Amino acid sequence: MKKGISLIFAGFASIALFGCVTTGEFDQMKSDIAKLYVENSELRKEISELKTRVDNLSSDLNTTVALKEGQLTLIAQTQDYVKELQILKGKFEESSYNNEKRFKELNDKITELQAKLTPSAPPVEKQEPVQPPKETLKDPKQLYDDAHIDIKNKNFTSAREKFQEIIKNDPDFELVPNAYFWIGETYYGEKKYEDAILSYEEFLKRYPKHDKAPGALLKEGMAFLELKDKKTAKVVFERVIEKYPQSKEATIAQQKIVEILKSMNTGTKSTPKKTTTKKKRK
């Protein structure tokens, strides 16, 4: 740039020497050219600053576009999560409804058994109250041990009477919950499965968190299975898995459900029809 201006000055100088340009005019031209040089430098500086601003704006624009795309992606993901949550909510509500329905069927079944096994009381004649003779109560621990000996010898009725005596006479005895459980076991041993179911249910209502609760619920399902009521047995086994998922009884219940489903599928398979061929007349 400076070289070009020097050439211009040289040209004007030649004109001043050989032409008709006065010295004053020549100085004015030099001043104008100097101003143009300054203005040109400032213009170049402004252009450089403008370019920097344009580059910054371009960078900001790219960042804004990237953020916008990220927001759109996030919105799309959120919508997917909402849809998935709605699906899970629907499945949960359906599962809750089915569970409530199954438990209602189970309660209805137990109520039906209770009504079936509860005999109608005959009319009681009014009599003078008779004072029973006082008897010495037996030691509950000894009774409990004797009852287990009876179970071992399969004297289930005798064992049950001893457990019932413990419950009646010593309600604060520490093994009373076990006595309720073993009453159900005596009925199961006698194959009186309906009575066993009611006894197990009584135990579970009183002691749902007892160590023997998973076993009682499992045996309740086994009793329904013995009564050929596979549908209710399956509901009880599902209840074992739901209430006591970490127990060994839950593993057994899962195996029983598989067996029930397998037997149901086998039973629903249609047997192939025999094709009969007409004999040709001889």
> What are the tens digits of pLDDT across the range 97-108?
666 666 666 766
Give a yes or no: residue 113 inside a domain. no
Pair (246, 155) in one structural domain: yes
Helices (H), ranges, 118-227? 140-152, 156-169, 176-189, 193-206, 213-226
Give a yes or no: residue 193 inside a domain. yes
Give a yes or no: residue 128 inside a domain. no
Residue 263's pLDDT is 87
Residue 130's pLDDT is 53
Burial class, 148, CB count within 10 angstroms (exposed 0-12 / middle 13-18 / buried 19+): middle
10-31 mean pLDDT: 61
Give a yes or no: residue 25 inside a domain. yes
Cβ atoms within 10 Å of 232's Cβ, excluding its own: 21
Pair (161, 257) in one structural domain: yes
pLDDT tens digits, residue range 41-99? 777 788 888 788 878 877 777 777 777 777 787 787 778 777 777 787 677 666 656 66
Look up residue 154 and give its DSSP letter.
T
Give a yes or no: residue 259 inside a domain. yes
Pair (147, 255) in one structural domain: yes
pLDDT tens digits, residue range 114-138? 666 555 444 444 455 555 544 556 7
DSSP per residue over 50-100, as a string?
HHHHHHHHHHHHHHHHHHHHHHHHHHHHHHHHHHHHHHHHHHHHHHHHHHH
Pair (149, 246) in one structural domain: yes
Residue numbers of the domain that contains 34: 2-82
Pair (154, 257) in one structural domain: yes
**CA dist., res. 183 & res. 160, Å (int):** 5
Pair (179, 250) in one structural domain: yes
**Cβ proximity of 216 and 208 under 8 Å:** no
Pair (41, 156) in one structural domain: no
**CA dist., res. 233 & res. 205, Å (int):** 18
For position 215, which CATH number holds?
1.25.40.10
| Cα 160 from chain centroid (whole Å) | 42
Give a yes or no: residue 98 inside a domain. no
Give a yes or no: residue 145 inside a domain. yes
Q: Which residue, 82, 107, 128, sits at the end of a domain? A: 82
173-179 mean pLDDT: 94
**Count of the separate structural domains present in the chain:** 2
pLDDT tens digits, residue range 257-268? 999 999 888 765
75 phi and psi, to 5 degrees? -65, -40
Is the pLDDT at 235 greater than 90? The verdict is: yes
Residue at token pair 């047997």: 271
Pair (77, 176) in one structural domain: no
Is the pLDDT at 32 greater than 60? The verdict is: yes
22-36 mean pLDDT: 71
Pair (148, 236) in one structural domain: yes
Pair (249, 144) in one structural domain: yes
Confidence of residue 282 (pLDDT cuts 50, 70, 90): very low
Residue 81's pLDDT is 72
Pair (157, 64) in one structural domain: no
Stronger pLDDT, 22 or 151, i.e. the higher one:
151
pTM here? 0.54
**CA dist., res. 236 & res. 240, Å (int):** 6
Pair (72, 179) in one structural domain: no
Residue 129's pLDDT is 53
Residue at token pair 């009884």: 249
Long-range contacts of 242-249 (CB under 8 A, 24+ apart): 242/99, 243/213, 243/214, 243/217, 244/213, 244/214, 244/217, 247/214, 248/214, 249/214, 249/215, 249/217, 249/218
Give a yes or no: residue 64 inside a domain. yes
pLDDT tens digits, residue range 178-214? 999 999 999 999 999 999 999 999 999 999 999 999 9
pLDDT tens digits, residue range 141-152? 999 999 999 999
